Amino acid sequence: QIQKEREEQRRKERATEAKRLQEEEQRRKQEAEEAKRLQQEREEQQRKAEEAKRLQEEQEEQKRKQQAAEEAKRQREEQLRKKQAAEEAKRLQEEQEEQEREEQQRKQQQAAEAKRLQQEREENQRQHKKPLEPKGSDEPIVH
């Protein structure tokens, strides 16, 4: 009888121990699954953060390229304006020089004409002792 009771007691203890071990194993399993789930969540958050950072860097790079392109365009336009202004200044300078040459030539022609008329008058006075009317006069030359 006592032996039976001892065996029954041991069987109960073994069953209790087996149940305790099984519960402990189940708890460890759940903890491992929870740890795995948390790890996956952290990895997903990190992946999202890296993707956001990559997109931001891409946008910043795009912005830098756009600004560089705008600056290059601005510089090209500025160079073109300077070139056009220089060409216009050169054209005006050449125009002014041409006008000055024409004016100088006109003055020289006037001076030469005046000199020629003066010489004709002097020559005429020597020959006829009469003044020569200026060229283009409507009055006839009187001898």
Q: pTM for this structure?
A: 0.44
Residue 143, C-beta contacts closer than 8 angstroms, at least 6 positions apart: 128, 130
Q: Phi, psi at residue 130, to the nearest 5°?
A: -130, 140
Residue 127 belongs to a domain:
no
Output the pLDDT for position 35.
97
Residue 108 belongs to a domain:
yes
Total number of domains constituting the chain? 1
Q: What is the pLDDT of residues 23-48, one digit of tens each?
A: 999 999 999 999 999 999 999 999 99
Residue 129 belongs to a domain:
no
In terms of residue numbers, what domain contains 16?
1-122
Torsion of CA 11, 17, 20, 25, to 10 degrees: -120
- Is residue 131 scored above 90 in pLDDT? no
Q: What is the pLDDT of residues 58-107, one digit of tens each?
A: 999 999 999 999 999 999 999 999 999 999 999 999 999 999 999 999 99
